[in-house]
Amino acid sequence: MGRDPNRCFAFDQFGPLSIRPPHGVGWAPQSHPDRLPATYHRRHGIRYFHGCYSLGDDQLWGVTRTRKSATNALAALQSIRAARPDTAPVYIILDNLSANTTPKIRRWAARHNVELCLTPTYESWANPIEAQFGPLRSFTMANANHPNHPALAHRLQNYLRWRNTHARHPTVLQAQRRERARIRSERQQRWGRPRTEAA
């Protein structure tokens, strides 16, 4: 897999996405902070972003779905296979969520020369798409107040188009580094490693 990154992809679900104004950074007049409105009633439900990432091309794409399911996971995996329409093998890194490993998905993968590379339980940080979700969260959801899910989905697709054109933009790379650092810190907490205190 490491010898041919152009045939390596990653897939994961990002969410749940709810319609609420999350914290973030933004421009505001001095001594007049940008206040977050209260949301006492949340009638919009939740959504999940099914993301696909090409390691060789450094391209990210995906769609918003109402829930995690084997049907939605299979549709995402089929979009990855369509990115390489030849018969050569394709390697997809994904977690071992039950919706990602159904018999139907495994049969489809065997027929279409797709190798599913599952990350171990509680170690989804090993999936390279996780670092891409940090900028996605920062640029589309932080300090935002979307009226509904279609507006949020439209904002996500706008970001994806911009991100794939400016994949090496310094702001994108900086957000990816922050997300990797956050994932590493969570990994240490999950494994029970003691925190190192400053001298």
Q: How far is CA 176 from CA 3, 40, 96, 136, in A?
A: 24, 33, 23, 9
* Residues 54, 109: Cα–Cα separation, whole Å: 17
Read off the pLDDT of each residue in 70-87 and give the average, rounded to a whole number: 92
Give me the pLDDT at residue 42, please: 72
Do residues 60 and 51 lie in contact, with contact meaning Cβ atoms separated by under 8 Å? Answer: yes
Higher-confidence residue of 60 and 169: namely 60
The tokens for 111 are: 């027929």
In a domain, 199, yes or no: no
Do residues 23 and 142 lie in contact, with contact meaning Cβ atoms separated by under 8 Å? Answer: yes
Residue 175's nearest CA partner among 162, 191, 187 is: 162
CATH number at residue 168: 3.30.420.10
Using 50, 70 and 90 to split pLDDT, how confident is the model at 61? Answer: very high
Number of structural domains in the chain: 1
Do residues 102 and 122 lie in contact, with contact meaning Cβ atoms separated by under 8 Å? Answer: no
In a domain, 194, yes or no: no
Give me the pLDDT at residue 143, please: 73
Segments forming the whole domain that contains residue 173:
5-16+45-188
In a domain, 198, yes or no: no
Mean pLDDT of the chain: 82
Using 50, 70 and 90 to split pLDDT, how confident is the model at 113? Answer: very high
In sequence order, the 6+-apart residues with CB closer than 8 A to the CB of 85 are none
